[in-house]
């Protein structure tokens, strides 16, 4: 197995088949986050019903999203994964970083989400993983 020197490796570029999976993944993440924010978390009727003791999947999801948003977990995970992606680019880290950056941007953690998105974009200028 021969490994290329770092300076001769091709840049990190997802191929067309990979993009066919990453585009729906990103759109699905943004869609789910928008649904949770505007249809489950923010409406007054849903919040009153959940606080009154309604036990449904929507209320459990609402409680989880509110707890994670309160502690800025979406932004922190997005930043950590984007930093890993910037240091060692890979498809899995890019996908996870993209999903959590979109969650952070939708759930009122704009600064961390924007920094993570910026680092993900900068990772395209880095050499990709070494392949034989």
Phi then psi for residue 38, to 5 deg, are -95, -15
Query: Does 33 fall in a domain?
Result: yes
pLDDT at residue number 86: 93
Query: Does 95 fall in a domain?
Result: yes
Query: Does 119 fall in a domain?
Result: yes
| CA 91 to the chain's CA centroid | 13
Distance CA 57, CA 41 (A): 13
Residues of the chain short of pLDDT 70, as ranges, are 1-2, 6-7, 130-132
Domain of residue 33, residue span? 17-124
pLDDT at residue number 107: 95
pLDDT at residue number 27: 98
Query: Does 118 fall in a domain?
Result: yes
Query: Does 91 fall in a domain?
Result: yes
How many domains does the chain fold into?
1
Query: Does 26 fall in a domain?
Result: yes
Could you tell me if 45 and 53 are in contact, meaning their C-beta atoms sit under 8 angstroms apart?
no
pLDDT at residue number 40: 95
Query: Does 38 fall in a domain?
Result: yes
Distance CA 18, CA 20 (A): 5
Global confidence as pTM = 0.88
């Amino acid at each position: 197995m021969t490994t290329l020197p770092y300076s001769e490796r091709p840049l990190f570029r997802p191929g067309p088949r990979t993009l066919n999976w990453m585009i729906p993944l990103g759109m699905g993440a943004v869609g789910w986050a928008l649904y949770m924010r505007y249809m489950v978390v923010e409406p007054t009727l849903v919040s009153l019903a959940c606080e009154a003791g309604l036990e449904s999947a929507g209320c459990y999801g609402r409680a989880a999203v509110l707890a994670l948003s309160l502690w800025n977990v979406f932004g922190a995970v997005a930043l950590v994964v984007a930093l890993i992606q910037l240091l060692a680019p890979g498809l899995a880290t890019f996908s996870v970083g993209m999903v959590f950056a979109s969650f952070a941007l939708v759930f009122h953690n704009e600064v961390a989400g924007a920094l993570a998105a910026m680092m993900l974009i900068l990772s395209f200028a880095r050499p990709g993983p070494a392949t034989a």
